[in-house]
Amino acid sequence: MIGCRVRNGTGRSGQDDGVKQRVKGILKQLTDIISGWDRTSAVVAGEASKIETFDPYFTIDLDVYHRGDLLPSNDRRDRLGNPAGFETSPVYPVDRFLQDDLPVSISYKDVSRINLLLARVEEQSWVFRRESTELLYRIQKGDVLYAKGKWFEEVRERLKTVPEGFWKELMEATRFSLDYYLSGIGAAVYRGDNLFYQLSASGFCRSLCSYVYAMNRQFEPTGRLLHEQIKRLETLPEEFLGRFESFIRPDAKLPPERKYEIAKLLAKSI
Protein backbone atom coordinates (compact mmCIF):
# COMPACT_ATOMS: atom_id res chain seq x y z
CA MET A 1 0.00 0.00 0.00
CA ILE A 2 1.31 3.47 -0.90
CA GLY A 3 0.51 6.21 1.54
CA CYS A 4 1.49 9.29 -0.43
CA ARG A 5 2.62 10.37 -3.89
CA VAL A 6 4.70 13.49 -4.30
CA ARG A 7 5.33 14.81 -7.77
CA ASN A 8 5.71 18.59 -7.63
CA GLY A 9 7.52 21.07 -5.43
CA THR A 10 10.19 18.56 -4.52
CA GLY A 11 13.91 18.78 -4.08
CA ARG A 12 16.58 16.78 -5.81
CA SER A 13 15.49 13.54 -4.18
CA GLY A 14 11.92 13.88 -5.50
CA GLN A 15 10.47 14.13 -2.00
CA ASP A 16 9.79 17.41 -0.22
CA ASP A 17 10.84 18.32 3.30
CA GLY A 18 7.26 18.19 4.54
CA VAL A 19 6.95 14.49 3.72
CA LYS A 20 10.32 13.75 5.28
CA GLN A 21 9.24 15.51 8.44
CA ARG A 22 6.03 13.45 8.51
CA VAL A 23 8.09 10.27 8.38
CA LYS A 24 10.47 11.50 11.09
CA GLY A 25 7.52 12.53 13.24
CA ILE A 26 5.90 9.10 12.95
CA LEU A 27 9.21 7.37 13.74
CA LYS A 28 9.60 9.50 16.87
CA GLN A 29 6.00 8.98 17.95
CA LEU A 30 6.23 5.20 17.60
CA THR A 31 9.65 5.07 19.27
CA ASP A 32 8.36 7.10 22.23
CA ILE A 33 5.50 4.62 22.67
CA ILE A 34 7.43 1.38 22.19
CA SER A 35 10.44 2.42 24.25
CA GLY A 36 8.05 2.81 27.18
CA TRP A 37 7.24 -0.89 27.16
CA ASP A 38 9.06 -2.67 29.98
CA ARG A 39 10.69 -5.37 27.87
CA THR A 40 11.90 -3.23 24.97
CA SER A 41 15.70 -3.32 24.56
CA ALA A 42 16.07 -1.41 21.28
CA VAL A 43 14.10 0.20 18.48
CA VAL A 44 15.82 0.35 15.08
CA ALA A 45 14.61 1.82 11.78
CA GLY A 46 15.22 -0.15 8.60
CA GLU A 47 16.29 1.21 5.23
CA ALA A 48 12.76 1.04 3.78
CA SER A 49 11.95 4.11 5.90
CA LYS A 50 14.43 6.17 3.85
CA ILE A 51 12.89 5.38 0.48
CA GLU A 52 10.73 8.08 -1.08
CA THR A 53 7.11 7.66 -0.01
CA PHE A 54 5.75 7.37 -3.55
CA ASP A 55 7.97 4.32 -4.13
CA PRO A 56 6.00 1.05 -3.62
CA TYR A 57 8.95 -0.30 -1.60
CA PHE A 58 8.51 2.43 1.02
CA THR A 59 7.31 1.57 4.50
CA ILE A 60 8.04 2.96 7.94
CA ASP A 61 10.03 -0.08 8.94
CA LEU A 62 10.91 -0.78 12.57
CA ASP A 63 12.67 -3.63 14.34
CA VAL A 64 11.83 -3.90 18.03
CA TYR A 65 14.19 -6.03 20.13
CA HIS A 66 12.60 -7.28 23.33
CA ARG A 67 13.41 -9.52 26.29
CA GLY A 68 10.96 -12.18 27.37
CA ASP A 69 7.36 -12.61 26.24
CA LEU A 70 5.96 -10.11 23.78
CA LEU A 71 2.83 -8.14 24.62
CA PRO A 72 -0.33 -9.75 23.17
CA SER A 73 -1.41 -8.28 19.84
CA ASN A 74 -4.52 -6.61 21.30
CA ASP A 75 -2.41 -4.85 23.92
CA ARG A 76 0.09 -3.71 21.29
CA ARG A 77 -2.71 -2.35 19.13
CA ASP A 78 -4.22 -0.44 22.06
CA ARG A 79 -0.88 1.03 23.14
CA LEU A 80 -0.15 2.07 19.56
CA GLY A 81 -3.38 4.05 19.58
CA ASN A 82 -5.65 1.67 17.64
CA PRO A 83 -4.18 2.66 14.26
CA ALA A 84 -6.10 2.23 11.02
CA GLY A 85 -5.84 -1.09 9.21
CA PHE A 86 -4.04 -2.81 12.09
CA GLU A 87 -3.19 -6.42 11.33
CA THR A 88 -0.72 -8.85 12.79
CA SER A 89 0.76 -12.12 11.61
CA PRO A 90 -0.42 -15.28 13.39
CA VAL A 91 2.95 -16.90 12.61
CA TYR A 92 5.59 -14.16 12.80
CA PRO A 93 5.47 -11.29 15.32
CA VAL A 94 4.90 -8.46 12.83
CA ASP A 95 2.35 -5.63 13.09
CA ARG A 96 1.25 -3.66 10.02
CA PHE A 97 -0.99 -0.60 9.95
CA LEU A 98 -1.39 2.96 8.64
CA GLN A 99 -0.17 5.98 10.54
CA ASP A 100 -1.03 9.39 9.07
CA ASP A 101 -1.87 7.53 5.82
CA LEU A 102 1.63 6.04 5.59
CA PRO A 103 2.32 2.27 5.83
CA VAL A 104 4.04 1.00 8.97
CA SER A 105 5.62 -2.40 9.61
CA ILE A 106 6.93 -3.34 13.06
CA SER A 107 8.86 -6.59 13.46
CA TYR A 108 9.50 -7.92 16.96
CA LYS A 109 12.68 -9.87 17.69
CA ASP A 110 13.54 -11.68 20.89
CA VAL A 111 16.94 -10.77 22.32
CA SER A 112 17.59 -14.42 23.22
CA ARG A 113 17.24 -15.42 19.56
CA ILE A 114 19.70 -12.71 18.50
CA ASN A 115 22.19 -13.92 21.09
CA LEU A 116 21.78 -17.47 19.77
CA LEU A 117 22.39 -16.37 16.18
CA LEU A 118 25.51 -14.48 17.20
CA ALA A 119 26.80 -17.55 18.99
CA ARG A 120 26.24 -19.57 15.80
CA VAL A 121 28.22 -17.02 13.83
CA GLU A 122 31.11 -17.04 16.30
CA GLU A 123 31.05 -20.83 16.62
CA GLN A 124 30.82 -21.16 12.82
CA SER A 125 27.68 -23.29 13.06
CA TRP A 126 25.38 -21.21 10.85
CA VAL A 127 22.73 -23.19 8.94
CA PHE A 128 22.33 -21.42 5.60
CA ARG A 129 19.27 -23.28 4.36
CA ARG A 130 17.29 -22.29 7.45
CA GLU A 131 18.09 -18.58 7.58
CA SER A 132 19.80 -15.87 5.54
CA THR A 133 22.05 -13.20 7.05
CA GLU A 134 19.47 -10.44 6.49
CA LEU A 135 18.73 -10.13 10.21
CA LEU A 136 22.42 -9.49 10.90
CA TYR A 137 22.44 -6.93 8.08
CA ARG A 138 19.51 -5.10 9.68
CA ILE A 139 21.31 -5.00 13.02
CA GLN A 140 24.46 -3.72 11.36
CA LYS A 141 22.89 -1.09 9.07
CA GLY A 142 19.73 0.10 10.86
CA ASP A 143 19.30 3.52 12.46
CA VAL A 144 19.15 3.15 16.23
CA LEU A 145 16.24 5.20 17.58
CA TYR A 146 16.33 3.82 21.12
CA ALA A 147 18.56 1.47 23.07
CA LYS A 148 18.35 0.42 26.71
CA GLY A 149 21.77 -0.27 28.17
CA LYS A 150 24.67 -1.44 26.02
CA TRP A 151 23.27 -4.69 24.62
CA PHE A 152 22.61 -3.47 21.09
CA GLU A 153 25.91 -1.59 20.90
CA GLU A 154 27.75 -4.73 22.02
CA VAL A 155 25.96 -6.82 19.39
CA ARG A 156 27.12 -4.44 16.68
CA GLU A 157 30.67 -4.60 17.97
CA ARG A 158 30.61 -8.40 17.84
CA LEU A 159 29.50 -8.25 14.20
CA LYS A 160 32.64 -6.28 13.36
CA THR A 161 34.79 -9.30 14.20
CA VAL A 162 33.06 -12.15 12.40
CA PRO A 163 35.48 -15.11 12.15
CA GLU A 164 36.91 -15.81 8.70
CA GLY A 165 35.79 -19.40 9.10
CA PHE A 166 32.15 -18.25 9.18
CA TRP A 167 32.43 -16.73 5.71
CA LYS A 168 34.20 -19.79 4.31
CA GLU A 169 31.58 -22.16 5.70
CA LEU A 170 28.81 -19.90 4.42
CA MET A 171 30.36 -19.94 0.95
CA GLU A 172 30.59 -23.72 1.02
CA ALA A 173 26.96 -24.04 2.12
CA THR A 174 25.67 -21.59 -0.48
CA ARG A 175 27.73 -23.29 -3.19
CA PHE A 176 26.15 -26.62 -2.31
CA SER A 177 22.70 -25.04 -2.37
CA LEU A 178 23.41 -23.30 -5.67
CA ASP A 179 24.44 -26.57 -7.33
CA TYR A 180 21.30 -28.25 -6.00
CA TYR A 181 19.03 -25.60 -7.54
CA LEU A 182 21.02 -25.55 -10.77
CA SER A 183 20.36 -29.28 -11.11
CA GLY A 184 16.68 -28.55 -10.48
CA ILE A 185 16.63 -25.97 -13.27
CA GLY A 186 18.13 -28.49 -15.68
CA ALA A 187 15.65 -31.19 -14.70
CA ALA A 188 12.70 -28.78 -15.02
CA VAL A 189 13.84 -27.68 -18.47
CA TYR A 190 14.17 -31.30 -19.58
CA ARG A 191 10.70 -32.18 -18.26
CA GLY A 192 9.05 -28.93 -19.41
CA ASP A 193 7.90 -28.31 -15.82
CA ASN A 194 7.37 -24.55 -15.66
CA LEU A 195 6.45 -24.41 -11.96
CA PHE A 196 9.47 -26.37 -10.77
CA TYR A 197 11.62 -24.28 -13.10
CA GLN A 198 10.45 -21.09 -11.38
CA LEU A 199 10.97 -22.56 -7.92
CA SER A 200 14.47 -23.78 -8.80
CA ALA A 201 15.39 -20.50 -10.50
CA SER A 202 14.31 -18.57 -7.39
CA GLY A 203 16.43 -20.78 -5.12
CA PHE A 204 19.35 -20.49 -7.52
CA CYS A 205 19.18 -16.67 -7.46
CA ARG A 206 19.03 -16.56 -3.69
CA SER A 207 21.96 -18.95 -3.30
CA LEU A 208 24.01 -17.12 -5.91
CA CYS A 209 23.48 -13.74 -4.23
CA SER A 210 24.26 -15.22 -0.82
CA TYR A 211 27.52 -16.64 -2.15
CA VAL A 212 28.57 -13.32 -3.70
CA TYR A 213 27.82 -11.43 -0.48
CA ALA A 214 29.74 -13.97 1.57
CA MET A 215 32.63 -13.69 -0.90
CA ASN A 216 32.66 -9.95 -0.13
CA ARG A 217 32.42 -10.64 3.62
CA GLN A 218 29.09 -8.81 3.86
CA PHE A 219 25.65 -9.67 5.19
CA GLU A 220 22.71 -9.68 2.79
CA PRO A 221 20.13 -6.87 2.61
CA THR A 222 16.41 -7.46 2.28
CA GLY A 223 15.32 -8.91 -1.04
CA ARG A 224 13.82 -5.57 -2.08
CA LEU A 225 17.26 -3.95 -1.98
CA LEU A 226 19.27 -6.91 -3.22
CA HIS A 227 19.17 -6.13 -6.94
CA GLU A 228 20.24 -2.53 -6.42
CA GLN A 229 22.97 -3.18 -3.89
CA ILE A 230 24.63 -6.28 -5.34
CA LYS A 231 25.88 -4.13 -8.22
CA ARG A 232 27.92 -2.04 -5.74
CA LEU A 233 29.90 -4.90 -4.23
CA GLU A 234 33.64 -4.49 -4.56
CA THR A 235 34.33 -8.01 -5.84
CA LEU A 236 32.15 -9.71 -8.44
CA PRO A 237 32.84 -12.80 -10.57
CA GLU A 238 33.88 -12.22 -14.18
CA GLU A 239 30.98 -11.12 -16.41
CA PHE A 240 28.64 -11.55 -13.43
CA LEU A 241 26.36 -8.54 -13.85
CA GLY A 242 25.63 -9.09 -17.54
CA ARG A 243 24.86 -12.76 -17.07
CA PHE A 244 22.86 -12.13 -13.89
CA GLU A 245 20.69 -9.51 -15.59
CA SER A 246 20.11 -11.84 -18.53
CA PHE A 247 19.05 -14.63 -16.18
CA ILE A 248 16.58 -12.64 -14.08
CA ARG A 249 14.90 -10.40 -16.67
CA PRO A 250 11.79 -11.59 -18.54
CA ASP A 251 12.76 -11.99 -22.19
CA ALA A 252 10.92 -14.03 -24.81
CA LYS A 253 14.20 -14.35 -26.68
CA LEU A 254 15.71 -16.19 -23.70
CA PRO A 255 13.63 -19.34 -23.13
CA PRO A 256 14.27 -21.62 -20.13
CA GLU A 257 16.76 -23.68 -22.14
CA ARG A 258 18.90 -20.59 -22.75
CA LYS A 259 18.46 -19.41 -19.15
CA TYR A 260 19.77 -22.78 -18.00
CA GLU A 261 22.93 -22.25 -20.06
CA ILE A 262 23.36 -18.80 -18.49
CA ALA A 263 22.86 -20.28 -15.00
CA LYS A 264 25.60 -22.83 -15.69
CA LEU A 265 27.96 -20.01 -16.70
CA LEU A 266 27.12 -18.09 -13.52
CA ALA A 267 27.75 -21.17 -11.39
CA LYS A 268 31.02 -21.86 -13.18
CA SER A 269 32.23 -18.27 -12.65
CA ILE A 270 32.28 -18.66 -8.89
State pLDDT tens for residues 109-125: 999 999 998 988 888 77
Residues 81 and 44 reside in one and the same domain: yes
Amino acid 13: pLDDT: 47
- Is the pLDDT at 11 greater than 60? The verdict is no
End residue of a domain, out of 142, 159, 176: 159
51 — pLDDT class (breaks 50, 70, 90)? confident
If asked whether residues 185 and 69 sit together in one domain, one would say no
Question: What percent of the chain stands above pLDDT 70?
Answer: 92
Residue 9 has pLDDT above 50, yes or no: no
At 14, the pLDDT band (50, 70, 90 cuts) reads low
Mean pLDDT calculated for residue range 233-259: 94
Sorting pLDDT into bands at 50, 70 and 90, what band is 129? low
At 5 the pLDDT is: 34
Residues 33 and 142 in one domain: yes
How sure is the predictor about 3, in pLDDT bands with cuts at 50, 70 and 90?
A: very low
What's the pLDDT band for 128 if we cut at 50, 70, 90?
Answer: low
Number of domains in the chain: 2
Both 128 and 247 in one domain: the answer is: no
Helices 194-215 and 223-230: angle between axes, nearest 10 degrees:
60
Query: What range does the domain containing 259 cover?
Result: 164-269
pTM of the predicted model as reported, rounded to 2 decimal places = 0.85
Q: How far is the CA of 191 from the CAs of 130, 197, 199, 250, 257, in angstroms?
A: 28, 9, 14, 21, 11
